[in-house]
A and B are shown apart, each in its own frame.
Chain A
Amino acid sequence: MIEARQRVGGRLRTLGEAPLHSEAGANLIGPNYGRILATASRLRVALQPPPASLPTDYSLRGRTILRSEWPSSQDNPLPAALRQISPERLWSSLLEPNPLATASDWCSPELAATDISVMDFLRRNEVPEPAIALLESNLSYGESLSTTSLLSMFRVRQGIARATAFRQPALEVRGGNQRLPEAMAASLSSPVELGNRVVGIRTSKDRVSAELMSGAVIDADAVLITLPAPALRNLRFSPDLPEDQQEAIQTVRYQRVTQMHYRVDAPFWETTGHSGGWWTDGPLGRIFVRPVQAGGPYLLTVWITGSACAETDAMEDEATASLIDRRLRQLMPEAADSLQPMGLVRWQHEPLNGGAWAIWRPGETSAMFRALHQPQDRIFFAGEHTAYAHSGMEGAMESAERACLELARRFA
Chain B
Amino acid sequence: MADESPILANPSLTIELEVVGETPHVLAYRVWTKAPGEERWMVAAEGHSEDGVPDLHPIGPFARGTLVAWWLGIGGPAGSWFRAAVRFGQLGQVLEGGERRVRGRTNTRGGAVRSGEALLA
Q: Do A and B come from one complex?
A: no
